[in-house]
Chain A
């Protein structure tokens, strides 16, 4: 039976190809990984020994003013009525933050949100007797989500600018902000004055750095969604310079990285503060009280020293004007004693070593895989399968409406399909998550999953509807006629005869759609996820931000491949089988089994 042998061989060939794909990727990474070299963890307190002195050029620019916005005093803690703070969940402070901006805000190896800003807020909330729930989101959407009360507080080194005060209210300052200019070594750019049109200047979208480049320098920056991405682009020379918040610049650059800080500048004289919805003055007051309290008891100084030790600009102090000045160790002396070399190309690595370390760091894989497996994988599967159910259900309705004789069914289906098939996935996610989210926050408890699933499902439905419609329409009209002639109604005919045949024909296309959905599930990170909700991509990205290494993303990519490659091969198998037809006559017993098992299912 040569045919049989051929098919077996073919199948074995496919299996081999599949295994080879996985093995090759894993093997490469294993072979290239350097011997266990622990990477520096960027999401941990750097400690007092990393203290720095404010750059001279910064001070020369002039002292920051705390302006008219710093309150004279803060109400005493005892006067705060915790029940009247307008919190989304009573007793819990829901905080929108970034998972990838160490040392200000980040997720650590234990999956906890931490960093100077978040730890300080935890302490402030402790003074108020509130629990804190951190939710990771993306900076561009953070203030809008605070304004719409998706989050009670926004915490991510937010500089309290005039423009932002139109959207949200701010607490008193707890840190001061200045920018660093980061360039590759040997760059012609030596200071902010050297920046010019035609250079690619990287910033994170929606930050004060972007506003600075556009409004003050009158240049057009290249915008990125997060710090890790800008920095990765700088390392690979995709951009000429990065205008970065000083904390993030100092945190990102590791010894040996091809990047140097060449200049500093002040933000436009505004301090760093927590953002609160504009109409929620009680919460602003309460946070100001808590802030003064943690300054008074030394917590602020302690956290500041651990996470972001650098000398304070003259005349600046955190909290209200009445808050005591924090007592800090002599950071300038410590910095001097450390003889810290300016961060820069201390030991330049070869390009190959740089690549190998970026992509195939075995330690990173060991760190990433358990979290990817325990957190990312289940969440990705939950998102994908739930969205598939939504997409299939709605898609079936769209398909049936699309072939209906009534134009009142046909037209809405047509319009829906055109809209949702025509919009980029990101746009749908953002519109539904940020636009519809606040309207249904009572229902969803501000959990982004229902909205993310809805957005993905609505999007998938447009494609699935078209796939099913083409499948249904490809079924021989004689099938409909025969079923109607037996006495089945139109709907029973569709359900029992036409749709099952239609679906079989488009099974490969449906599996492809499922793969697309699996990949699109990464987009829910736009909606803000608490640590336990992160799916594969977000877990990889956070570890990437935490370590400055791309290997966690590569590891996340491997998980996607492990999920999608078998599906791709399944499609090919189904496709081939549909094309060749069934393999000869089946044994009767087998078929009887099928009858009894599936006979009732379609009822």
Chain B
């Protein structure tokens, strides 16, 4: 089974010349990034480099000041942002599950309300997605009773239930206990292997090296260097990337 439960094929995602100012600070200063259909692009870089902002600009949680965003080769800046976000799943560092709803409802809510599925169909879909992340047996409980790793799996299932064409991961394992990280990363890697187009902001260099088609290194609101993982990790050209890698590896 692929990520494409609704019959949507994965598509390419690209951003060109994105500028973004937040609270008077230029957070993104002309960022280009490209994820061909089915590819996994990892974004690495020091804190405050603009990685998370870039991710939120891609699905227009922040509207870029200038530049363009292309989904399947077509600009999406004039689309209805709510419609656009239904096509782009997002997973957060702190999971952000809805604490007042059961695990099942967390996953079934958006399909039922936004994809207009019947309660039964949404429930079946949610159970399928929960099964996929190995948590079908937790469908009835509240998220607060789950471990961090389990919560993040539910968050991934919640995003997948909308059958997105692209997935965005914002430091999805940064808030997890070490023993939980591996399982979640494997789940994300499996998704990529199944052909999902993904942009993954991560501090896990092992994942970036082994599971990515391309790696983008950002610093101070700009893409400093990008390329295949081997090139980034083994043949860094810029001094800044070399220094970064020496600190994190």
Across-interface contacts of A11 in B (CB, < 8 A): none
Q: Does B113 contact A (CB under 8 A)?
A: yes
Contact between B61 and A486, CB atoms less than 8 A apart? no
Query: In the bound complex, how far is the Cα of B158 from the Cα of A497, in angstroms?
Result: 14
**Which one of B90, B96, B110, B141 lies within 8 Å of A479 (CB-CB)?**
B96
Contact between B110 and A585, CB atoms less than 8 A apart? no
Q: Does B198 contact A (CB under 8 A)?
A: no
Contact between B92 and A478, CB atoms less than 8 A apart? yes
Q: Does B162 contact A (CB under 8 A)?
A: yes
Q: A476-B96, A586-B142, A588-B139 are in contact. Are A487 and B83 (CB under 8 A)?
A: yes
Q: Does A591 contact B (CB under 8 A)?
A: yes
Report the stretch among A185-193, A254-262, A455-463, A594-602 that lies at the interface.
A594-602
Across-interface contacts of B92 in A (CB, < 8 A): 478, 481-482, 485
Contact between B113 and A492, CB atoms less than 8 A apart? yes
Across-interface contacts of A532 in B (CB, < 8 A): none
**Which one of A488, A501, A588 lies within 8 Å of B141 (CB-CB)?**
A588
Query: In the bound complex, how far is the Cα of B119 from the Cα of A488, in angstroms?
Result: 17
Across-interface contacts of B141 in A (CB, < 8 A): 585-586, 588, 591
Q: Is the interface of A mostly helix, strand, loop or mixed?
A: helix
Q: Does B244 contact A (CB under 8 A)?
A: no
Query: In the bound complex, how far is the Cα of B109 from the Cα of A599, in angstroms?
Result: 9
Q: Does A504 contact B (CB under 8 A)?
A: yes
Contact between A592 and B140, CB atoms less than 8 A apart? yes
Q: A482-B96, A599-B105 are in contact. Are A487 and B82 (CB under 8 A)?
A: yes
Shortest C-beta distance, A503 to chain B (Å), equals: 9
For A215-226 the 0/1 string (1 means CB < 8 A from B) is 000000000000
Contact between B96 and A591, CB atoms less than 8 A apart? no
Query: In the bound complex, how far is the Cα of B142 from the Cα of A582, in angstroms?
Result: 10
Nearest chain A residue, comparing its CB with the CB of B55? A485
Q: Does A496 contact B (CB under 8 A)?
A: yes
Contact between B61 and A484, CB atoms less than 8 A apart? yes
Shortest C-beta distance, B57 to chain A (Å), equals: 13
Across-interface contacts of B139 in A (CB, < 8 A): 588
Query: In the bound complex, how far is the Cα of B98 from the Cα of A479, in angstroms?
Result: 7
**Which one of A478, A488, A584 lies within 8 Å of B113 (CB-CB)?**
A488
Q: Does A406 contact B (CB under 8 A)?
A: no
Shortest C-beta distance, B94 to chain A (Å), equals: 6
Across-interface contacts of B3 in A (CB, < 8 A): none
Q: Does A581 contact B (CB under 8 A)?
A: yes
Shortest C-beta distance, A418 to chain B (Å), equals: 29
Q: Does A236 contact B (CB under 8 A)?
A: no
Across-interface contacts of B104 in A (CB, < 8 A): 595
Contact between A595 and B59, CB atoms less than 8 A apart? no
Give the number of chain A interface residues (Cβ < 8 Å).
34
Q: Does B243 contact A (CB under 8 A)?
A: no
Across-interface contacts of A488 in B (CB, < 8 A): 82, 110, 113-114
Query: In the bound complex, how far is the Cα of B122 from the Cα of A603, in angstroms?
Result: 14
Across-interface contacts of A584 in B (CB, < 8 A): 145
Q: Does A500 contact B (CB under 8 A)?
A: yes
Shortest C-beta distance, A595 to chain B (Å), equals: 6
**Which one of B88, B96, B109 lies within 8 Å of A478 (CB-CB)?**
B96
For A559-603 the 0/1 string (1 means CB < 8 A from B) is 000000000000000000000011011111111101100011001
Query: In the bound complex, how far is the Cα of B110 from the Cα of A486, in angstroms?
Result: 7
Nearest chain A residue, comparing its CB with the CB of B111? A486
Nearest chain B residue, comparing its CB with the CB of A493? B82
Q: Does B165 contact A (CB under 8 A)?
A: no
For B88-121 the 0/1 string (1 means CB < 8 A from A) is 1110101011111010110001100110000100
Query: In the bound complex, how far is the Cα of B155 from the Cα of A571, in angstroms?
Result: 33
For A465-506 the 0/1 string (1 means CB < 8 A from B) is 000000000001011011111111100100011001100100
Query: In the bound complex, how far is the Cα of B102 from the Cα of A488, in angstroms?
Result: 18
Query: In the bound complex, how far is the Cα of B137 from the Cα of A587, in angstroms?
Result: 12
Across-interface contacts of B90 in A (CB, < 8 A): 482, 485-486
Contact between A486 and B158, CB atoms less than 8 A apart? yes
Shortest C-beta distance, A436 to chain B (Å), equals: 39
Nearest chain A residue, comparing its CB with the CB of B155? A482
Across-interface contacts of A489 in B (CB, < 8 A): 82
Nearest chain B residue, comparing its CB with the CB of A600? B119
Q: Which residues in chain A, 352-400, are within 8 Å of chain B measured between CB atoms?
A: none
Q: Does B150 contact A (CB under 8 A)?
A: no
Contact between A485 and B113, CB atoms less than 8 A apart? no
- Residue from A484, A489, A492 whose CB has the most chain B CB atoms within 10 Å: A484
Across-interface contacts of A481 in B (CB, < 8 A): 61, 92, 96
Q: Does B129 contact A (CB under 8 A)?
A: no
Query: In the bound complex, how far is the Cα of B105 from the Cα of A228, in angstroms?
Result: 60
B residues neighboring A (CB under 8 Å): 59, 61, 82-83, 85-86, 88-90, 92, 94, 96-100, 102, 104-105, 109-110, 113-114, 119, 139-142, 144-145, 155, 158-159, 162
Q: Considering the complex of A and B, which 10 residue pairs feature the smallest CB-CB distances, nearest first?
A: A487-B86, A482-B96, A591-B140, A588-B140, A478-B96, A485-B90, A487-B85, A486-B110, A585-B145, A501-B100
New A-B pairs, 13, CB < 8 Å, besides A483-B98, A599-B105? A481-B61, A482-B96, A486-B114, A487-B83, A487-B162, A488-B113, A488-B114, A497-B98, A504-B100, A584-B145, A586-B141, A591-B142, A595-B102
Cross-chain pairs A/B with CB under 8 angstroms, 8 sampled: A478-B96, A485-B59, A486-B110, A486-B162, A504-B100, A585-B141, A586-B142, A600-B119
